[in-house]
Structures are given as C-alpha cells and as structure tokens.
Amino acid sequence: MSDKKQDTTHFGYQEVPVDEKVKRVADVFHSVAGKYDLMNDLMSGGIHRLWKRLTIEQSGARAGMQVLDIAGGTGDLTRKFSRLVGPSGKVVLADINDSMLKVGRDKLINAGAAGNIEYVQANAECLPFADNTFDIITIAFGLRNVTDKDAALRSMQRVLKPGGKLMVLEFSKTDNPLLTKAYDFYSFNILPQMGKLIADDAESYRYLAESIRMHPDQETLKQMMNDAGFVGCRYQNMTGGVVALHTGIKP
C-alpha cells in the first residue's frame, strides 16, 4: 500500500509526483547545459574549481584504476581523473541528462581528452554496471537532484569494489548565522537574476537554489551513507560549510 510520502517528492520547495521530478530535473539541465560552465564560474566566483581540485587530491586515484564520475556533467572531474589513471585505467562519465552528457563529451574531445573515457547515460538510482567494478566513484553537485538518494547510495555501493571509495561533493549547511543569511540572500535574489541575464532562465536557477536548501545536512548524509553499507564515513566542510565533501569506503 502506498501513501502520500511515497508517491510524492520535493522538486525544490514544491511537492510533486515522484515520476514527474525526473522530467522536471531533466528540463532544468536541458535548459542550462550550454551555459553550465560559465554559470558555475559566475555563481561560485570560480571557487568550484578549488572544491573539485581538493576532491581529486583526496581521491587517491592512480594509474590503472577504474573511476565512475556520476552526474559528471561537463567533465571537470573526468578530465583530471583521465590523466591520473592513464591508458591502463578507465573513467566513465555518467549523467542522466543527455544534453549535459553531450556538452561534456564535446568539451573533453575538443580539449584532446584521452581515449580512456567512456560516456554513459545513466540513472544514479540503478547504475547499469556490474557489481564490484570501480575503485572510485564521485558525484559532484548531483546527489541533491536525485529523487531516491538512498537507492542511489546503495547502487553506488554495489558497483564499487571492496575497499573502493565514494566521494560526494555537494552544497551543504553552514552553522554560521551571518554566512547563512548572506548565502540565502545571494541564492534567492542574486542567483535567479544571474540565471535570467546569462542563461535567460531564472526559474531553473531558482530551483537549483531551493534544491540546495532541501538537501540533507552533513550529519544526515553521513548517516545515509552508513545505512547504505559504507564504512569510515566522514565529511570535510569547505567555505564554511557552504560545500561539504563526504567520503565512505565499501567494506
């Protein structure tokens, strides 16, 4: 027997039918794909590059490894992992959104990316890979858009090799009241206007701001990873908790 909680989910601050959220999120990223890199730089003042660099540095990626970059979008992490794992390794850039995947593939090919990259359109909740395939899985700024986050974490745990590492880089919660106030003002006033000006799409960026607020806080996500079967789960706050990097190991 189903109930309202199972049948609906959050799309930003709205409550929508579960099957409708996937389409709505897809529409957002179809809309923003072409300006995604530019908007990331503008929205974060370029700091997203530092957050991603720290993720790479802490990944432990080395030659010969198999890496899965979920919600990899325009390929920032994939490109760096490709260099680290070398010709004997492999990086899979996976995204549920074909517009984002095409932008990422074109960007990487134009940059002369190595032949050790594969591109797969995939839903994080039911990853189309065999058990125990990957040494490292990353999902950067993508988990908050997943409808069933618990299912996605279990799916990631399944396809990791024993001893493999999951890294979740995501906007999170700051415990500094002044920073929170400034962040909220920026997110709900400045960000949609930037989206309107640069990408001619204020609504998509309003959703992105709302989706950040609806995402689980640091301790909640850490517990979700524990519940999905990961061990040694921990997180590191960046920029005062605006962003957090969660890591967990498959036993």
Contact between residue 89 and residue 64 where contact means Cβ atoms under 8 Å apart: yes
Rounded Cα distance, 229 and 249, in Å: 9
pLDDT in tens, 93-145: 999 999 889 999 999 999 998 899 999 999 999 999 999 999 999 999 999 98
* pLDDT at res. 16: 63
The residues pairing with 68 across neighbouring beta strands, listed in sequence order, are: 92, 137
Determine whether the annotation assigns residue 98 to a binding site. Answer: no
pLDDT in tens, 42-56: 667 789 999 999 999
Determine whether the annotation assigns residue 132 to a binding site. Answer: no
* pLDDT at res. 3: 41
pLDDT in tens, 62-94: 999 999 999 998 899 999 999 999 999 999 999
Res. 8 pLDDT band, cuts 50 70 90: confident
Determine whether the annotation assigns residue 74 to a binding site. Answer: yes
In angstroms and rounded to an integer, the radius of gyration of the C-alpha atoms of the chain is 17
DSSP state, residue 240: G
Determine whether the annotation assigns residue 124 to a binding site. Answer: yes
Rounded Cα distance, 249 and 21, in Å: 30
Rounded Cα distance, 164 and 129, in Å: 15
Fold of 4-175+207-249: Rossmann fold (3.40.50)
Termini Cα distance of the chain: 34
